[in-house]
A and B are shown apart, each in its own frame.
Chain A
């Protein structure tokens, strides 16, 4: 526990849908770098960012590298915390079984509480 009351180092907030922009891939690359150096990092998905964790994404259909395939493998980088804003998912007509198993669908209150545990926050 640091002096500021935070326990984890970095939170990365994803707010954009995959593929059309590079925001999601950039956020993931950043998280992987921190993970590789064993720095605690958590990923948060809110707004259109929740679309990144849909389990049947297939970026290959757009002839691009599908970075979303990396999300289920993040535990190998010791990145265990993937939080999806439940309100954002509901607003988009998405059900829990639309998302990859490794991500947690959490209420707004839990989302906020987890976010506030981190010392640094970057938004993509």
Chain B
């Protein structure tokens, strides 16, 4: 069953994030939250999106807006309420920080 991976740090300064992403299953969800939102433009993350068609990637909307950056179209912006709903549907939540 699907897991949600909450990514809280910037992969530009924390290489562990990319290691964590190597553990993804095809039906998993990735959610960028807090400083994790900076990852939307990270080449390693973009590569992940290209390589893993099944993995859905989300970013918390007000966290990315607060930091003044924009997400590419293949990353969906969600609210905290949406995240709660996604959490409800998943079997497991893993926080990477």
Contact = CB atoms under 8 A, between A and B. Distances in A.
Interface of A: 15-20, 47-48, 51, 54-62, 91-93, 98
B28 interface: no
B12 A54 contact: no
Contacts of B66: 19, 57-62
A62 B38 contact: no
A17 B35 contact: yes
Contact of B67 (A15, A16, A54, A93): A54
A54 B68 contact: yes
Interface in B31-66: 34-35, 38, 41, 62-63, 65-66
A57 to B, nearest CB: 4
Nearest to A61: B66
30 contacts: A16-B13, A17-B13, A17-B35, A17-B38, A17-B67, A19-B35, A20-B34, A20-B35, A47-B12, A47-B13, A48-B13, A48-B35, A51-B67, A51-B69, A54-B67, A54-B68, A54-B69, A57-B66, A57-B67, A57-B68, A58-B66, A60-B66, A61-B62, A61-B66, A62-B62, A62-B66, A91-B12, A92-B41, A93-B41, A98-B68
Interface residues of B, number: 15
B14 to A, nearest CB: 9
A48 B12 contact: yes
Contact of B38 (A15, A48, A60): A48
Contacts of B69: 51, 54, 56
Contacts of B41: 92-93
